[in-house]
Chain A
Amino acid sequence: MHRLRLLNTGIRTQQICRKFHSTPARRVGSLHSFSEEEKLLKDTVARFAKEVIAPKVKKMDDISLMDPTIIRALFEQGLMGIETSATYGGNGMNFTSAILAIEEIAKVDPSVSVVVDVQNTLVSIPLRRWGTEEQQQKYLPRLCTDTVGCFCLSEWGSGSDAFALQTTARREGNSFVLNGTKAWITNSGESQFFIVFANVDHSMGYKGITAFIVTKHNTGIKIGKRENKLGLRASSTCEVNLVNCVVSEQDVLGEVGKGYKYAIETLNEGRIGIAAQMCGLAQGALDHTIPYLMQRKQFGQTIASFQGVRFDYAWLATEIEAARLLTYNAARLQEEGKPFTKEAAMAKLFSSEVATRVASKCVEMLGGVGFTKDFPVEKYYRDCKIGQIYEGTTNIQLETIGKLVVKEYE
């Protein structure tokens, strides 16, 4: 099918578009070897998450609303423009730095983590990679300092079958007029900046799909229904309605008809971010659980000292480590300009599965308290499920990996 050919073009383009922002890591150490600034970033974000985000997590989940002061703090700390070059107001750090930030935040709140993830991967990558100089100068600084963005691909009728999207873009003079409804759009509730995928010519199939930059200044774009979700409740997931939304041709991102390519390549890279989020989530759940197990006693001994329980958390720790290594490795491959599609899919596939297993087991090991909202672990259990669904379902990851495996034998 044409998906394989699309993946091929993706890999080659990634190799051409490599940009090293800081010292490439020398692979003489383990995947836990980090540069000085990667270490400093990891420590700083961990502290920031613990001191600024942690106190607000429960309330944000209860009322299903992201605290605007948290979003402001994310911008102020520079966490919304990690890789963007300093010329455009970003921090010029490498991809692993973004991954570490996403992971550390997810240990405390996967909802806040996804805000940082989407902004730094799905929104920032297309603009940095395919935007014109004018577009980058116009939009990147705002995305780094105060404007939340989102990636509008999915629709009610097209999730995994992304290229069956129905949103149309009709050419009218120097503009395009967009009509359609996007669904399941993360960050949209707080967004002022939208990357919208629409088809300029349905007779061309996916080759008509074009990426457009839309902002709240454009007429005809409106945030619709906000989803009431099982987990990641503080993260906004809304419908985005386009009704005769006029977009100047200056705001076409890249080339007309190449949107499908940009979407695939962006998602290939973005899923490493989701893998990091899931690793953080799993670790966060475990971090809340083990200390409790070491304290609570039954039958004269701590829960943690029962062999059956020990075997459980030994497995969990092993799986988290494996997921983390897959994630870090995929990130390093990206940095080195090597092909990473298979490894990225493996990382996302495995991390989301591990997160579900870990969160579930942690609730179980905690016993009664694990099942109450007084304890933070039930939130990780609800939050983890989306990992197997968004940015490419588990089955899509398996398809991707399977096809690449076969390719190695052709």
Chain B
Amino acid sequence: MISKILVPVKRVVDYSVKIRIRNDKLGVDTESVKMSMNPFDEIALEEAVRLKEKGIVKEVVAISLGPPGCTETLRTAMALGADRSIHVETNQDIQPLGVAKVLQKIVLKENPQLVFTGKQAIDDDSNQTAQLLAGLLGWNQATFASKVELKPDEEKVIVTREVDGGLETLSVNLPSVLSADLRLNQPRFAKLQNIMKARKMPIERLTPEQVGVDVTPRTKILSITEPPTRKSGVKVNSVEELVDKLKKEGIL
């Protein structure tokens, strides 16, 4: 049995919301827009909780960096099965390097054997935090996990990763940083019983200063624009017609 998995969760615009670009073109409109836990983080959390339910992990700790609204995300995490949570509060723009540095400090304090994040956040699609964290810690990493088999007695975890060429299975020694991909599992719904229990569960509150990290953004967004509107395609009636059109376009 391993003692702890740390699961970073990010508060993002809900996947079902139609996003709008702000007038200053420097970001996306998040004013009175529905926010939720990043879906990939939910998948990572679900995996961690399942391992706890199997008796392989003792404690699952959720952590979030961000504005006051993150407490809602952390309550959700606890309603889904995390034992306790940590909120590092900041109103700065959240960027992967800042997150990774904060997580590194927390890892040194909490000593988890595994850090399990989502592969990327659906707001910036950076896909960097897990990798940066592994680098800062000097730990190995197994990203895009679609299957995880924890072997605590052998102090390793077997991870199947989704890569461009197919599936790759790695054996990684603990401690390790993992990131979850879509097909790892189907997250549960928070049961009402657990929503009520989560009310009373502790959220440790910290600031980046207390943790000893400067989370000032290192990259500056110059502008955000919508992609060009997709032009409608052409429907063809036969394979011959298709080949003909492709030839005319110079593709064949």
**A and B from one complex:** yes
Residues of A at the B interface (CB closer than 8 Å) are: 22, 36-37, 39-41, 43-44, 47-48, 51-52, 76-79, 82, 86, 91-93, 97
| B73 CB → nearest A CB, Å | 10
Q: Give 16 new A-B contacts, CB below 8 A, not counting A36-B199, A37-B199.
A: A22-B196, A36-B75, A37-B196, A40-B75, A44-B79, A44-B189, A44-B195, A52-B189, A76-B191, A78-B191, A78-B193, A86-B193, A91-B192, A91-B196, A93-B192, A93-B196
Which residues from B are CB-within-8-Å of A39? 72
B36, CB-defined interface residue at 8 Å: yes
Q: How far is the CA of A48 from the CA of B192 in the complex (A)?
A: 12
Q: How far is the CA of A339 from the CA of B174 in the complex (A)?
A: 61
Q: How far is the CA of A37 from the CA of B72 in the complex (A)?
A: 9
Q: How far is the CA of A51 from the CA of B71 in the complex (A)?
A: 25
| A73 CB → nearest B CB, Å | 9
Q: How far is the CA of A43 from the CA of B198 in the complex (A)?
A: 15
B26, CB-defined interface residue at 8 Å: no
Q: Are B189 and A47 in contact (CB under 8 A)?
A: yes
Smallest CB gap from A41: residue in B: B195
- Which of B79, B189, B192, B193 is most buried by chain A, counting CB atoms within 10 A of its CB? B192
Q: How far is the CA of A97 from the CA of B191 in the complex (A)?
A: 13
Q: Are A40 and B191 in contact (CB under 8 A)?
A: no
| B145 CB → nearest A CB, Å | 23
Q: How far is the CA of A404 from the CA of B71 in the complex (A)?
A: 44
Which residues from B are CB-within-8-Å of A91? 192-193, 195-196
Which residues from B are CB-within-8-Å of A48? 189
Which residues from B are CB-within-8-Å of A86? 193, 196
Which residues from B are CB-within-8-Å of A47? 189
Decide yes or no: A82 and B192 within 8 Å by CB, A36-B75, A40-B72, A40-B79 being known contacts.
yes
Majority-rule SS of A interface residues: helix
Residues of B at the A interface (CB closer than 8 Å) are: 36, 71-72, 75-76, 79, 189-193, 195-196, 198-199
Q: Are B189 and A78 in contact (CB under 8 A)?
A: no
Q: Are A44 and B190 in contact (CB under 8 A)?
A: yes
Q: How far is the CA of A41 from the CA of B192 in the complex (A)?
A: 7
Count of chain A to chain B residue pairs whose CB atoms are closer than 8 Å in the complex: 51
Q: How far is the CA of A15 from the CA of B77 in the complex (A)?
A: 37
Which residues from B are CB-within-8-Å of A93? 192, 195-196
Q: How far is the CA of A36 from the CA of B73 in the complex (A)?
A: 10
Q: Are B192 and A77 in contact (CB under 8 A)?
A: yes
| A40 CB → nearest B CB, Å | 5
| A146 CB → nearest B CB, Å | 14
Smallest CB gap from A79: residue in B: B192
Q: How far is the CA of A82 from the CA of B36 in the complex (A)?
A: 23
Smallest CB gap from B186: residue in A: A51
- Sorted nearest first, the 10 A-B pairs with minimum C-beta distance are A78-B192, A91-B192, A44-B190, A48-B189, A78-B193, A78-B191, A91-B196, A40-B195, A77-B191, A37-B195
Q: How far is the CA of A127 from the CA of B208 in the complex (A)?
A: 51
Which residues from A are CB-within-8-Å of B189? 44, 47-48, 51-52, 77
20 contacts between A and B (CB under 8 A): A37-B75, A37-B195, A37-B199, A39-B72, A40-B79, A40-B195, A44-B190, A44-B192, A44-B195, A52-B189, A77-B191, A77-B192, A78-B191, A78-B192, A78-B193, A91-B193, A91-B196, A93-B195, A93-B196, A97-B192
Q: How far is the CA of A51 from the CA of B16 in the complex (A)?
A: 13
Smallest CB gap from A82: residue in B: B192
Q: How far is the CA of A97 from the CA of B196 in the complex (A)?
A: 11
Smallest CB gap from B190: residue in A: A44
Which residues from A are CB-within-8-Å of B190? 40, 44
